[in-house]
Amino acid sequence: MPSTTRNFVWMTFTSPRFRYIKGDQWELHARRIAAKFHAEYARHADDSWWSGQFEALCEASSEFQEYWDSQEVLDAIDAPKVLQCPNLGILNFDFVSFQVLNDTSLTVSLHVLHQDDTVEKMQRLLSDYQTRNSEHFESFQGI
């Protein structure tokens, strides 16, 4: 399992900040992550790393254990996402994911902005970032 995916599983079940950001969408997200982990675990039944991760996640999160025990199969492809950003408020996205054809262990995922105030909020965030880091951006203008 790529380290970014592994970290995402841990972040989902152990980070209060991540849980806050996901807001009302956290439980569905967590169920999907547990189901995805379950499917990957089944493909690597003889790998001690996977059983160690499973045991550690069960110990770290009773919710992970509960969702694992439910044995749900959930599709995480093409789903709406709502994030609670501390400084911007609610952000709405469509989540689209594609599996790389020649390497099924790789996935490309996109968060597509909804055409509501999410676009304006993200533009404001980018503008604020560029203002705070203007020296960095100016150094690239000559390239």
pLDDT tens by residue, the chain, 143 residues: 445 556 778 899 999 999 998 888 899 889 888 888 887 888 787 888 888 888 999 999 999 999 988 877 665 555 678 888 888 898 988 877 777 788 877 778 788 888 899 999 989 888 888 888 877 666 655 55
User: Based on the number of CB atoms within 10 Å of its own CB, is 90 exposed (0-12), middle (13-18) or buried (19 or more)?
Assistant: middle
The whole-number pLDDT of residue 87 equals 84
If DSSP states are collapsed to H, E and C, what string results for the chain? Answer: CCHHHHHHHHHHHHCHHHHHHHHHHHHHHHHHHHHHHHHHHHHCCCCHHHHHHHHHHHHHCHHHHHHHHHCCCCCCCCEEEEEEECCCEEEEEEEEEEECCCCCCCEEEEEEECCCHHHHHHHHHHHHHHHHCHHHHHCCCCC
Determine how many CB atoms are found less than 10 A away from the CB of residue 114: 14
Identify residue 26 by its one-letter amino acid code. Answer: W
Q: Look at residue 29 in the predicted model and tell me its pLDDT.
A: 86
Tokens coding 45: 């039944």
User: What is the reported pLDDT for 142?
Assistant: 54
Q: Say if CB 102 and CB 96 are below 8 A apart.
A: no
Whole-number pLDDT of residue 106: 77
